[in-house]
Structure 1
Amino acid sequence: MSLIHPIEERSVSDSRRGRLTLYFGAAPGVGKTYAMLEAAQRLRRQGVDVVVGAVDTHGRPEVAELLVGLERLPPRTVEVRGKLIEEFHLDAALVRRPSLVIVDDLGHVNAAGSRHSQRWHDVVDLLAAGVDVMTTLCVQQLESQHDVVQQITSMRVRDPVPDAMFERADHVEFIDPPAKEVLARLQDGKVYIPEQDARAAAAMYRKNSLLALRELALRRMSQRAGRENLIYRSAPRLGAGPTSERILVCVDPSPLGPRLIRAAFRMATGLRAEWLALYVETPRLALAGESVRAQVGETLRLAEQLGAEVVHISGARIDREILGFARARGATRLIIGKPMQHRWRDLLRGSLVDALVRGSGDLDVHVIAGDVAPHEVSPVPALRSPLRIAAYFWAALTVAGIAATRLVHLPLFYVIVLLLVGISLVGSRLGRGPALGAALLSILAVETSLRLDPDVNHIDDLQRAAIYLGMLLLALWVSGLTELSRRQAEAARIDERRLTALYLLSRELSQLRSEVDIAECAIRHVKKTMSARTVILLPGHDGELAPVAGTDVELTTDAREEGVARWAFEHGPAGRGTETLKAAQALYLPLTAAGRTIGVLGVAPDDPDKLASPAERQLLDAMTGPVALALQRVRLAEEAQIAEVRAREEELRGSLLSSVSHDLRTPLASITGAASAMMDSGDAIAPETRRDLLQTIYEEAERLGRLVGNLLDMTRLEAGAVALRTDWVSLEDPIGSALSRLDRRLAGREVQVTLPPELPLLPLDEVLFEQLILNLLENACKHTPAGSPVRVVARVQAGRVVIEVADRGPGLPAGEEETIFEKFVRGSKANTQGFGLGLAICRAIAAAHGGEITAENRAGGGAVFRISLPIGAPPPEPGPDTSLASMSGPQGVLHNTAKILLHQASGLEAETTT
């Protein structure tokens, strides 16, 4: 087949959806990749920006030769079980954004750890980004062909491609070489077969298997072409006829229905055509009895079992509804039953067969006879209203009142007019029976008046017959119109009730966000509509169905009912009202959304005959749709949240690995180098050099310990694994301990510590808060020039204790006052050693104590980090055993400032306001 150019001129806006071109074939080895690369080379020569994203040559030189001259994206290397695997680099393609990307093998399964599990997900992302894609696909990779291909080849496709990808393709190029050529290519070693699939491939590459796969592929292409033709035929300007058959069988409530269904099935099977079963419910049929609904329900269930698409519509004119539906769905053949009613009924009401034949146009009409005798067929039982004595009484009273006007010598002409008006009123108000009774009484009244009054004998017999016939026809006509309008109103009321139920259900479901609430809402509406016990079962983590709380869970306490529900979940409707496991108490319907079964709805109505009604079944089926979509929405929201968490974890893991690769390697390299130098030099090394090397090892090991400690602290804080061990602590303690631990780092700096005596004791975890102060001081040393001063100030402000750590460094970049507290954010103006976790740990520790930490630039240069902590309730009075570390007063102050004084004695200046 010739290639149709799939690339159009790119619009100015890149927001358009990319175009998908599929190279489709019956089996691997038919030449899909070769044809795709040939087309790519032609497009490249025409100036199209073509990039190869993923093509595996499998050592075939003819494929490798076609890749010459095409730009190739660098693959993404993934390690799986100790082996390096090259995968399609989706991110690189999205950054490059060429006009066309070549991505071979749409059904390819990506390696573990990839963004998507299958390659077709990557293609969807490319198309959404406005990038055109060329790819290949085999028929056995389609999800709809999974079972059929398994029967042909005994090969199971574990991860098929959804048929939606095939349908959304803008162009499908069918590669169809003869089976002999494919087998010859196989013998020449030009078909790649993985070792683990060699046995399955042996069953595939037989001539009969290849022919069967080719037939499946051709049928799939034919279905696609038929749908495209149907779309074009719907346009008024196009008159192309259909190229495939579509059969429509019309069902009515009669014993002839099953035979019509079986005949349509045989015809559809012979023609390999799609077929539909249509039931038109007129206002008269909508009010029919239970036997009529049961007969229709049985016929439609048979059609479902045989694979038909069942459609149930309403309308006043059966012929118009059938013909309109047939043209809308592109039917080519219409099957109806031979009429079994008496000829006089056709004369009075019209013949449905004649109406369909006259209005069919190019639609073929097949009239099929039934297996039963005409006298045994009763298509629709007569709808008889109960005898109402009051109605007949009021009809007689009306006629009597009008006839009494003759007593006041009202002319007979006016009396006849009044009688006609009375008949019309009775027919419009009381129905057909009272109207006919009123007409007969009116005839009797007129006849009596004519016989008793000689003055009106001038009315001859023909005129009298016309008057009497007019009265009877008027009674029949008015009462018939009244009955029809009542039936239409009743049918409209029933339809309105169904639509209202669906509307209320959909509106309420759209506002719910949990599975339990959705299930309770669905149960409430189903009970209100059908007066039934209802249960919703959803699969758990172990795959077992379990009833949702709030539903009629006792309905599935029986193991047999659970088995029916499981069958419905896996295969389709089952239970009461169906031909599958119909001994069950309830009808079980799968809740399906987007081709995925979410759960099962079980309904056990108080009146089991309701399940036989097509209208009730249709309403119930319609209600399962919104419920399934609502449940799927909740599931997708949960999956999206999980996916977002995983994405953040991946981002965190990537940042961590990036930091680890540099920041851990540097101190380890220094330690290794110093230790290696000492080992190589032995005793020949000078004492001063040995001391310097040992000092390097010590400092780098200390630095490595701080880096690992920050990682562990951040992990524990984020996981909530750190429990605060609070005690009443004076700020002199953690600040003094932090200064002591940083003696070496703070050497040569002026450190000012201002702690006023009115500072209260605070409920702190002393170890964690010391780490907070330590990180801030270390941050000041890291990002400020050597010898610059550092200031630590604490004060009471607005019911809170505020601690400031200020420096005279380069300050903070504008707009990054909040960003610096995020994980893995490191300074950009000074030394950037470390993971960028120190300030993130500070914020986590401050938040754990109910406080907060902020940063801003100082006037005159530098930065200040401000910690704000709540004071809380006053501490209890100290007892006789209270240690100096927790005492107030002069003794407590002296003890708590000991470490600061020690720091001052080591050569650093410290200012303590006491």
Structure 2
Amino acid sequence: REHATQIVIGTRRHSFPLGLFRRSLPDALAARAAGIAIHLVTDGSAPAVKPAARRRSTLPEGWGRGVAIAAGTAAAATALGLLIEQFVVLQNISLLFLLAVLVSATYAGYVAAIAAALISVLAYNFCFIEPVGTFTVAEPHEVFALFVFLAAAMLAGGLASRVREQANTARRRAAATQALYDFSRKLSGTANAEDVLWAAVTQIHATLRRNAALLLPEDGDVRLMAAWPPDTELGLTDTMAARWAFEKKEAAGNGTGTLPNSPFQFRPLMSPHGVVGVFGFLQEDKPLEINEERALAAILDQTAIAVDRARLSREILDQAAQLEGEKFLAALLSSISHDLRTPLATITGAVTSLRQLGERMPEESRDDLLESIEEESGRLTRFVANLLDMTRIEAGTVNAKRDWVDVADVVHSAVERARKYFPGRVFETSIAPDLPLIRGDSVLLGQVIFNLLDNANRFGGDEPVSVYGRREEDEIVLSVTDLGKGIAPADLDHVFDKFFRKGKPDGRSLGTGLGLSISKGFVEAMDGRIKAESPAMKRRGTRISMRFPVAETGITEKERG
């Protein structure tokens, strides 16, 4: 169950009675742990193991233990019968020996049952049938009773041993069913192809006790992806057999008509969408039993479905990423076509008017055109800068500095810049005087605050925009609040998405939909958090707040005075 491949165990010589009636742990492991290397560490007294001699034996496995149990139970029945006869004479004392046969059959199987029946007949004849102390029978009816007892004992022993075998078979089937259930449950919660492969090879090795390997197609060929034990290697013949099984959709390798020289047998993994891989197990001219074949078939079916599901999941993710990229490209082209064309058209029209009219145009009109050129050029510059910043964020190349940053200075600089770009807007600031320094990038932080002020200018109506800064426990909180129409609750989770532009601005251009997304990327690059809230005040407006961890230096704004 635990997929062990090596067992190291200490062993020593057992005492004489214990060695007869109980099989040692090394012997039990050698009999049951097929496919696992067993290393015995002795104390010098253990006898040398002769596996070759044991393999040449034609007697059933465990016959010595069965005969010992049979002799012990028969001896116990004889002793108990002799003890009872000291007190009372029983005509059916043979039932004790029948009980000995049943006990032997239950604990050691059919061989022990036969041995117990034979030994019980001899003991019953020697100790309880006249003349006592000999193996002769004086009365004819005793001979008949003796043979009837022998037949009944062997029949009862056979039935008991068969019940025992059926119980063991049912136990093994229950264990196999439980293992398959655990395996299917493990696969149901696994979407990664690599995890599926390792789960499959370990499960197959635990079931068959043989080396297992799984190969998947790659670049027009099959390649070993997982094997258990991990040091399992495939030779050239093995690889050719695996390729044949994948291409021809039939078994190849040892035990088949195709490349039988390979010690492995390879079988294709068939799914509803075709062959998804190849499974191989070490056969070496030892065919699988019927129960092993059934378990293997069930495991391979589940593995094929799981591998196919993992492949389909990967394809779905690739397609989703491709669709997201196409969506991003379409939004980018749409934004570029609108946000580039508008300022370029304004600049082109103003320049054309100035060139054609020249001195004939009133000075006031020329100033208006020049101001329009300046505003649209600034707008175009900000748009291109936003595209470059978003490209850096998407590529993961935003490397924020870890300098000491005075938040108050950055906020004042960003507000002054916003007042220059948006002269018709009133900006109010309220910064606590004792704000400590933070670790960050003053350039990125200033760009974030300007982007938030730009967003508030577009959607904040005619009310002032407020900028607050304060300390809350171990964090610096900066917030930008407007009193516009606010954001619908359903849109709060999407305001930081790329190209999200929903709602109508207050008589101003709609924007590119990149400002808040860029702000989120810059804030997270400085280990901060950003959040949007709406309504902000008086059931209207929007507040976007940022939180940054405090970098304690012992110097406050008031002390820097």
> How does the TM-score come out when normalised to structure 1?
0.45
Show CA shifts across 1:263-318 (max 9, x none). xxxxxxxxxxxxxxxxxxxxxxxxxxxxxxxxxxxxxxxxxxxxxxxxxxxxxxxx
Show CA shifts across 1:68-96 (max 9, x none). xxxxxxxxxxxxxxxxxxxxxxxxxxxxx
Q: For the structure 1 residues 807 and 418, does the alpha-carbon distance in structure 2 shift closer, same or farther, using more than 3 Å as the test?
A: closer
Contact 1:795 1:802 in 2 (8 A): yes
Q: For the structure 1 residues 467 and 846, does the alpha-carbon distance in structure 2 shift closer, same or farther, using more than 3 Å as the test?
A: closer
Q: Identify the residue that residue 614 of structure 1 maps to in structure 2.
A: 290
Q: Identify the residue that residue 215 of structure 2 maps to in structure 1.
A: 537
State the AA in 2 paired with 1:565: A
In 2: Cα distance, 1:604 partner to 1:829 partner:
71
In 2: Cα distance, 1:598 partner to 1:706 partner:
51
Show CA shifts across 1:379-403 (max 9, x none). xx99899697664797699689979
- In the alignment, structure 2 segments of 5+ residues that lack a partner are 1-57, 105-111, 132-137
Q: Identify the residue that residue 485 of structure 1 maps to in structure 2.
A: 163
Q: For the structure 1 residues 553 and 559, does the alpha-carbon distance in structure 2 shift closer, same or farther, using more than 3 Å as the test?
A: farther
Show CA shifts across 1:246-266 (max 9, x none). xxxxxxxxxxxxxxxxxxxxx
Give the Å deviation of 1:625.
Answer: 3.3
1:533-572 paired onto structure 2 within 5 Å: 533-540=211-218, 544-548=222-226, 551-556=229-234, 558-570=235-247, 571-572=249-250
State the AA in 1 paired with 2:263: Q
In 2: Cα distance, 1:478 partner to 1:434 partner:
11
Please state whether the residue corresponding to 2:287 is helix, strand or coil. Answer: helix
Q: How many residues of Structure 1 are paired with residues of Structure 2 in the alignment? A: 485
Contact 2:196 2:306 in 1 (8 A): yes
Contact 2:436 2:552 in 1 (8 A): no
Q: Identify the residue that residue 190 of structure 1 maps to in structure 2.
A: none
Structure 2 counterpart of 1:705, from 378, 381, 385: 381
Structure 1 counterpart of 2:262, from 573, 578, 584: 584
Q: For the structure 1 residues 487 and 871, does the alpha-carbon distance in structure 2 shift closer, same or farther, using more than 3 Å as the test?
A: closer
Residues 524-533 or 719-728, more deviating:
524-533
In 1: Cα distance, 2:61 partner to 2:431 partner:
101
Contact 2:212 2:227 in 1 (8 A): no
Show CA shifts across 1:355-399 (max 9, x none). xxxxxxxxxxxxxxxxxxxxxxxxxx9989969766479769968
Show CA shifts across 1:204-231 (max 9, x none). xxxxxxxxxxxxxxxxxxxxxxxxxxxx
Q: Identify the residue that residue 575 of structure 1 maps to in structure 2.
A: 253
State the AA in 2 paired with 1:569: F
Q: For the structure 1 residues 768 and 827, does the alpha-carbon distance in structure 2 shift closer, same or farther, using more than 3 Å as the test?
A: farther
Q: For the structure 1 residues 614 and 754, does the alpha-carbon distance in structure 2 shift closer, same or farther, using more than 3 Å as the test?
A: closer
State the AA in 2 paired with 1:431: A
Please state whether the residue corresponding to 1:548 is helix, strand or coil. Answer: strand
Q: For the structure 1 residues 785 and 567, does the alpha-carbon distance in structure 2 shift closer, same or farther, using more than 3 Å as the test?
A: same
Q: Identify the residue that residue 858 of structure 1 maps to in structure 2.
A: 537
Give the Å deviation of 1:584.
Answer: 0.9
Show CA shifts across 1:1-50 (max 9, x none). xxxxxxxxxxxxxxxxxxxxxxxxxxxxxxxxxxxxxxxxxxxxxxxxxx
Structure 2 counterpart of 1:435, from 109, 112, 117: 117
Q: Identify the residue that residue 550 of structure 2 maps to in structure 1.
A: 871
1:733-772 paired onto structure 2 within 5 Å: 733-739=409-415, 741-743=417-419, 745-755=421-431, 758-772=434-448
Contact 2:404 2:439 in 1 (8 A): yes
Contact 1:533 1:552 in 2 (8 A): no
In 1: Cα distance, 2:422 partner to 2:172 partner:
86
Contact 2:476 2:549 in 1 (8 A): yes
Q: Identify the residue that residue 391 of structure 2 maps to in structure 1.
A: 715
In 2: Cα distance, 1:802 partner to 1:724 partner:
19
Q: Does 2:526 align with 1:845?
A: no
Show CA shifts across 1:665-687 (max 9, x none). 433443454456567x4669625
Residues 708-717 or 858-867, more deviating:
858-867
Q: For the structure 1 residues 472 and 708, does the alpha-carbon distance in structure 2 shift closer, same or farther, using more than 3 Å as the test?
A: same
1:273-672 paired onto structure 2 within 5 Å: 391=70, 415=91, 417-419=92-94, 422=97, 426=101, 429=104, 430-432=112-114, 435=117, 470-471=148-149, 473-510=151-188, 514-540=192-218, 544-548=222-226, 551-556=229-234, 558-570=235-247, 571-604=249-282, 608-672=284-348
Q: For the structure 1 residues 498 and 782, does the alpha-carbon distance in structure 2 shift closer, same or farther, using more than 3 Å as the test?
A: closer
Q: For the structure 1 residues 652 and 476, does the alpha-carbon distance in structure 2 shift closer, same or farther, using more than 3 Å as the test?
A: same
Show CA shifts across 1:581-626 (max 9, x none). 1111222233444444443333226xx3543533333333333334
Q: Does 2:493 align with 1:825?
A: no
Show CA shifts across 1:605-664 (max 9, x none). 6xx354353333333333333444444454444444444444443443444444445444
State the AA in 1 paired with 2:252: A
Contact 1:535 1:553 in 2 (8 A): no
Q: Identify the residue that residue 48 of structure 2 maps to in structure 1.
A: none
Q: For the structure 1 residues 402 and 777, does the alpha-carbon distance in structure 2 shift closer, same or farther, using more than 3 Å as the test?
A: closer
Structure 1 counterpart of 2:476, from 784, 801, 809: 801
- Asked which structure has the greater RCO (Cα within 8 Å, sep 6+), the reply is 2
Contact 1:518 1:630 in 2 (8 A): yes
In 2: Cα distance, 1:743 partner to 1:869 partner:
25
Contact 1:534 1:601 in 2 (8 A): yes
In 1: Cα distance, 2:179 partner to 2:237 partner:
31
Please state whether the residue corresponding to 2:277 is helix, strand or coil. Answer: strand
Q: Identify the residue that residue 286 of structure 1 maps to in structure 2.
A: none
> How does the TM-score come out when normalised to structure 2?
0.68
In 2: Cα distance, 1:665 partner to 1:847 partner:
32
- In the alignment, structure 1 segments of 5+ residues that lack a partner are 1-380, 450-455, 878-885, 891-914
Please state whether the residue corresponding to 1:835 is helix, strand or coil. Answer: coil
1:258-273 paired onto structure 2 within 5 Å: none
State the AA in 1 paired with 2:513: G
In 2: Cα distance, 1:732 partner to 1:384 partner:
87
Show CA shifts across 1:139-173 (max 9, x none). xxxxxxxxxxxxxxxxxxxxxxxxxxxxxxxxxxx
In 1: Cα distance, 2:294 partner to 2:539 partner:
78
1:53-72 paired onto structure 2 within 5 Å: none
In 1: Cα distance, 2:178 partner to 2:521 partner:
53
Please state whether the residue corresponding to 2:233 is helix, strand or coil. Answer: helix
Q: For the structure 1 residues 863 and 527, does the alpha-carbon distance in structure 2 shift closer, same or farther, using more than 3 Å as the test?
A: closer
Q: For the structure 1 residues 682 and 549, does the alpha-carbon distance in structure 2 shift closer, same or farther, using more than 3 Å as the test?
A: farther
Q: Does 2:454 align with 1:778?
A: yes
Q: For the structure 1 residues 828 and 436, does the alpha-carbon distance in structure 2 shift closer, same or farther, using more than 3 Å as the test?
A: same
Please state whether the residue corresponding to 1:845 is helix, strand or coil. Answer: helix
Please state whether the residue corresponding to 1:545 is helix, strand or coil. Answer: strand
How many percent identity over aligned positions?
A: 31
- What CA RMSD, in Å, does the superposition of the two structures yield over aligned residues? 4.8
In 2: Cα distance, 1:476 partner to 1:530 partner:
35
Q: For the structure 1 residues 476 and 696, does the alpha-carbon distance in structure 2 shift closer, same or farther, using more than 3 Å as the test?
A: same
Contact 2:400 2:441 in 1 (8 A): yes
Show CA shifts across 1:692-745 (max 9, x none). 445434433432332332233223223322211343344465445445544554
In 1: Cα distance, 2:102 partner to 2:539 partner:
102
Contact 1:592 1:598 in 2 (8 A): yes
Please state whether the residue corresponding to 2:446 is helix, strand or coil. Answer: helix
State the AA in 2 paired with 1:706: R
Contact 1:755 1:793 in 2 (8 A): yes
